[in-house]
Amino acid sequence: MAIIEAIATTYLEADAASVTFSSIPTTYEHLQVRGSHRTSAGTSGQPFYIELNATAGTGYSSHGMIGTDTTVSGQPQTGTAAIAIWDGTHGTLVNAADYATIIMDVMDYRNANKNTTVQLFMADAMTLSGASRVTFASGLWDDTAAITQIKFTPSSGNMVRGSEFTLYGLNSS
């Protein structure tokens, strides 16, 4: 039987440039982050960055598939400063109640014999424009260090009040 335990939750009472989980314990097999967020940026689409262990710079790769109402597109990125995914829930393009959801798995996050990989699913529905989007993505951090910190940052603007992220630890028994 799988055991899932909430480790920490961050709820934004005010806009913030990023959300960081630090001092992540090494007592679990896998990690999962579930979130509901939006940004203050007024653009139609922007990268949303995931940085591990406060390591910015090269060494990350990510790719994803984005499906909108009528189109599907790919999003490869290599050698970036963080794992990059596309976020569609932005300030002037959505109603104040529209938030995107994200579920991200970090498998074997403390295994020193392999690089760290993440897989994620993100979805948003923008009622103001009538558009919706779903993103399936994966990322690689070319490092074998145990993950002790995860940081989420939009490329422009801030995450707005009401955004919430919860970090979970998963064990198989």
pTM for the model stands at 0.87
* C-alpha span between 146 and 55 (Å, rounded): 12
Choose the weakest-confidence range: 47-51, 83-87, 159-163.
Answer: 83-87
Q: How sure is the predictor about 41, in pLDDT bands with cuts at 50, 70 and 90?
A: confident
DSSP element (H, E) containing 9: strand 3-11
* C-alpha span between 163 and 110 (Å, rounded): 28
- What pLDDT is stored for residue 114 in this prediction? 94
Domains assigned to the chain: 3-171 (2.60.120)
Mean pLDDT calculated for residue range 89-107:
76
**pLDDT one-digit tens code per residue, 112-165:** 999 999 998 887 766 556 667 777 888 888 999 999 999 998 888 888 899 999
What are the C-alpha distances in Å from 94 to residues 66, 142, 146, 147? Answer: 18, 36, 38, 34
